[in-house]
Amino acid sequence: MKKIYFLCTGNSCRSQMAEGYAKIFLKNKYEVQSAGIETHGLNPNAVKVMAEDGIDISKQKSKLIDPNYLKASDLVITLCGDAKDRCPVLSEHTRSIHWPLADPAQAQGTDKQKLAVFRQVRDEIKEYVSKLG
């Protein structure tokens, strides 16, 4: 089975949401994982907005990039400029895509305003992932 790897800075929000959707939308096409350049822990707001859409990512963990999985990946998708700039060199057979998404963890304002940003980014990710199938 082909492998897909979603990468962002801290593997706490964007890549976790992408992994959650991909495990549903692409389950028969890809083995799916996500990771970060660093680990920042799973963001509770990411868990919350994904649950609103019927996807449970609460058991996922924030992970560092696994060089072996990266090397074996058929498709690597970076979800922020930091991951794109700092991503290790990919093998010849690995295709890469960049999705320039805002970092919802940086949202300012009330809890309601922050959740609105998480929902917006979630919806963008859902659209992108659905087009991979």
CATH number at 2-131? 3.40.50.2300
Tokens of 29: 């096409």
Report the distance separating Cα 4 and Cα 90, nearest Å. 13
* Domain limits, the chain: 2-131
Size of the chain, expressed as the number of residues it contains: 133
Q: Which residue numbers are catalytic?
A: 8, 80, 87
| pTM score | 0.94
pLDDT tens string 21-70:
999 999 999 999 999 989 999 999 999 999 999 999 999 999 999 999 99
Asked if residue 14 lies in contact with residue 103, where contact means CB atoms within 8 angstroms, the answer is yes
Report the distance separating Cα 57 and Cα 31, nearest Å. 16
**What is the CB neighbour count within 10 angstroms for residue 126?**
19
